[in-house]
Amino acid sequence: MKQVEVAVIGTGWCGGIRAQTLSQSALVDKLHICEIRPDRLAEVKQLTKPATATLDYQDIIKNPNIAVVYISTTPESNHYPIARDCLKAGKHVLLEKPIALELWEADELITLAKRGGLKFTIGYSQRFNTKFAYAKKKITDGTLGKVVSIMVSRHLSRSLGKKIASRVKLSPVVMESTHDLDFVFWLLEPAKPVRVYSQGSYGYMQPVNGSYDVMWSIVTMDNGMVVTIGGGWNLPPSYPNYCTTWVEITGTEGALILDDTHRDNWLNTVTDGQQFPMSTMPGEQVDHVFAGQMGPETIHFLEACIMDRPVMVTPESARRVMETYIAADLSAERNAPVDLPLSNEALSAVAAMAAAAR
């Protein structure tokens, strides 16, 4: 069995999941972890027993034995420079979403990976959700006929929304609907988005980071299909789970409704009240198994690197998602549809919006 040395840079929530998953895999020869918070580094070190643990990601870059790197850092502005350095060092990279904050950054990362013959993917773990994989199968095998429309409604609890919105000034379409744009575009391949019309509504999050509480976007595909995606992060504090999602897919020969609201496990205790366990988007370790998507996704990328298989999420598809949610932000600002690919005029307007936000 071939094994490789692997590193995880950033061991917070998602990075911690990946580090624990990798520490249990027979495909990993040695695990290396990097985290800027000494207390969290010590915690994950105790949990995963890595070969090395460091506060400086350059130690990972400089280690020639490390072949595969998972980048799970926050804030999101760290994604591009760390991924760039890892790719330049000849390492295969899984990078959490978003791929970058600027399109030119995404383009450079894609170019570096191609030049180096490296595996490069983005952590859109919802493709590993069994419900969405089933939808892909039913579309591909013709069960639904020609797809006519897809609607996705995703909402996070206020506590998680505030945590995300407090660390970065990005909108819910960028931070949450991005997952849905990715898996819907995957479902509808080879169709591509050509127009976006988006609207947002302010509420609880406006004083937190100036963001909408919720955004709804209508995306028109180049074959005429219509996609409607809503994403929000202001469910009340009493809401008993992190993430609730509802999906409706209609076709000429059938319809498929996906309930991903995480109401299937219902726990109520005297101490903590009502809870819906295992209701987070990444998933969690439950005794000897992993409940959710991020565990299988982590191992899938490792196998792709070792066995030279295609990655599930190409960086080009992640860039397409990025351009779409950028267009959605611009559409909401202008109160008008925005065409894709983005024109030079639109890109200039996006740059002006970003400068104003700073």
* Whole-angstrom Cα Rg for the chain: 20
For the segment 157-175, the average pLDDT, to the nearest whole number, is: 82
Domains observed in the chain: 4-118+301-313 (3.40.50.720), 127-281+319-339 (3.30.360.10)
| Cα distances (angstroms) measured from residue 76 to each of 24, 118, 180 | 27, 22, 19
Give CA–CA dist 173/329, Å, rounded.
8
Res 354 pLDDT > 90? no
- pLDDT averaged over every residue in the chain: 94
The four Cα atoms 143, 231, 104, 342 give a dihedral, to 10 degrees, of 70
Which range (192-206, 215-229, 264-278) has the least confidence? Answer: 264-278
User: In one letter, which amino acid is 210?
Assistant: G
pLDDT (tens digit, 9 = 90+) per residue, 236-259? Answer: 877 767 889 999 999 999 999 999
pLDDT (tens digit, 9 = 90+) per residue, 140-157? Answer: 999 999 999 999 999 988
What is the predicted pLDDT for the residue at 210?
A: 87
* Long-range pairs, 282-291, Cβ under 8 A, ≥24: 282/13, 282/14, 282/17, 282/125, 283/17, 283/125, 284/17, 285/17, 285/20, 285/21, 290/21
Ordered DSSP codes for 231-300:
EEEEE-TT-SSSEEEEEEEEESS-EEEEEES--SS-EEETTTEEE-SS-SSS-EEETTEEESSHHHHHHH
> What is this structure's pTM?
0.95
Put residue 289 in one of left, alpha, beta given phi > 0 → left and psi -120 to 50 → alpha: beta
| 41: Cα separation from own chain's centroid | 23
Res 1 pLDDT > 80? no
**For the chain, how are helix, strand and coil distributed in percent, rounded to 5?**
40, 25, 30
Structure tokens at 19: 């580090």
* Long-range pairs, 43-46, Cβ under 8 A, ≥24: 44/11, 44/16, 44/19, 44/20
Q: What residue has token string 């439950």? A: 286
Nearest residue to 125 via CA among 70, 195, 85, 69: 70
pLDDT (tens digit, 9 = 90+) per residue, 82-128? Answer: 999 999 999 999 999 999 999 999 999 999 999 999 999 999 999 99
| 136: Cα separation from own chain's centroid | 18
